[in-house]
């Protein structure tokens, strides 16, 4: 949507659904309950203002996280709002417990500070005779920010309170993986409590409230599990280069081969979605299942591989010394399972997602950890 002090701020489509629901619930339920005898239009304007205030409050909360993270040298990609709040996107873990603690506590402190400021504005508005809809929205945002701070301080990873808990465990035990496992256990437990609470609230008659408790519980439980998997994967791949995982004797396809032969002799036989393509012993690109699919089947016998190759570029090639974790994240984001490993214009091998998964699974089994979910890196 926009940039704020170098941070990109984006909105997931799920947040738009939340925004619509919030405007409706504020205009038809919450504001009429606390502020009587206003016009229907006033309630809808208050609902819209309350939703925008929530939008600004979450950005402010996450922005303070990001500022502290930047201060301690942590890369922050941006801030994204989604149905259950916001997240400051951090591609790597903090380098020490102190930076983790300060980054985590910054958000709740910012929300409490904003709540206090809004309290002063609200009192000023009531004393000077501001219209009820105006100071009413300010009062709502005051309590909203206070609730946002309190909820985030619950010691359930990956909430801010869970990160504060992890920083303390990390400082005591000296092991971020063990600290994450314990903190994420609290997060999964809290998620289960919310799920059960949602079922109880639904049975008691408040179906909408119960659904929200249930969904938030599911999200926190899933996020806690993914956060631990991310730490396990990063620890396993720390300092590894992709050349350790590549197949140094990859199957290649000749550029002069017809597509029908390539499909029959290579795609169907080896079950790969991408093959390097060579001409006179030199690499000229690669051919993918998507490229073949784009050609009509009755044309396969007449078209050579050279006519549908994908040129070597930054999306399908990787340097042998590249960091394995960075490449794994890149493969996940691009939806690719195979990359060509190249040194200048020379093909050294092929890196596959399957080989990296096998390494991670083996290392986790040897060290006695649960198998990580690589898709959550």
Residue 260 is predicted with a pLDDT of 92
Q: Phi then psi for 8, rounded to 5 degrees?
A: -80, 130
Least confident range of 168-182, 223-237, 283-297: 223-237
Output the CA torsion sign for 151, 157, 158, 160: positive
Residue range 174-218, pLDDT digits in tens? 888 888 889 989 999 999 999 999 999 888 887 777 887 888 888
Q: Higher model confidence: residue 135 or residue 13?
A: 135
Asked whether the beta carbons of 320 and 343 are under 8 A apart, the reply is yes
Mean pLDDT, to the nearest integer, of 323-347?
Answer: 83
Whole-angstrom Cα distance, residue 248 to residue 218? 43
Burial 61-84 (b: 16+ CB within 10 A, else e): bbbbbbbbbeeeebebebbbbbbb
> All domains of the chain, ordered by start, with CATH?
2-237 (no CATH), 242-376 (3.10.580.10)
Residue range 75-86, pLDDT digits in tens? 776 677 666 666
Whole-angstrom Cα distance, residue 134 to residue 143? 15
Report the candidate in 92, 90, 99 with the shortest Cα–Cα distance to residue 233.
Answer: 92
Q: What is the pTM of this model?
A: 0.72
Asked whether the beta carbons of 89 and 78 are under 8 A apart, the reply is yes
């Amino acid at each position: 949507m926009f940039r704020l002090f170098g941070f990109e701020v984006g909105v997931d489509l799920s947040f738009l659904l939340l925004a619509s629901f919030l405007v409706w619930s504020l205009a038809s339920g919450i504001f009429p309950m606390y502020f009587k005898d206003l016009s229907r239009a006033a309630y809808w304007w208050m609902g819209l203002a309350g939703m925008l205030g929530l939008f600004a409050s979450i950005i402010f909360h996450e922005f303070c996280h990001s500022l502290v993270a930047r201060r301690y040298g942590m890369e922050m990609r941006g801030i994204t709002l989604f149905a259950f709040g916001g997240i400051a996107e951090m591609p790597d873990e903090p380098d020490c417990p102190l930076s983790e603690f300060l980054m985590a506590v910054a958000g709740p402190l910012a929300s409490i500070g904003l709540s206090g400021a809004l309290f002063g504005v609200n009192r000023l508005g009531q004393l000077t005779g501001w219209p009820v809809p105006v100071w009413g929205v300010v009062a709502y945002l005051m309590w909203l920010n206070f609730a946002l701070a309190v909820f985030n301080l619950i010691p359930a990873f990956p909430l801010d309170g869970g990160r504060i808990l992890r920083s303390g465990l990390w400082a005591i035990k000296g092991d971020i993986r063990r600290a994450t496992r314990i903190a994420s256990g609290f997060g999964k437990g809290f998620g289960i409590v919310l799920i059960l609470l949602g079922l109880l609230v639904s049975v008691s008659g408040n179906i909408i409230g119960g659904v929200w408790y249930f969904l938030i519980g599911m999200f926190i439980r899933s996020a806690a599990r993914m956060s631990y998997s991310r730490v396990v994967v990063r620890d396993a791949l720390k300092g590894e280069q992709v050349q350790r995982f590549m197949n140094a004797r990859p199957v290649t396809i000749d550029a002069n081969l017809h597509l029908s032969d390539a499909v029959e002799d290579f795609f169907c036989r080896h079950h790969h979605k991408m093959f390097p393509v060579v001409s006179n012993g030199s690499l000229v690109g690669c051919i993918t299942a998507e490229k073949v699919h784009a050609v009509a089947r009755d044309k396969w016998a007449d078209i050579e591989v050279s006519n549908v190759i994908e040129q070597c570029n930054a999306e399908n090639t990787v340097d042998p010394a590249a960091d394995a974790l960075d490449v794994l994240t890149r493969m996940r984001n691009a939806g690719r399972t195979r990359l060509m490993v190249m040194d200048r214009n020379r093909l050294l091998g092929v890196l596959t997602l399957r080989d990296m998964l096998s390494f991670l699974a083996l290392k986790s089994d040897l060290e006695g950890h649960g198998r990580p979910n690589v898709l959550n890196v």
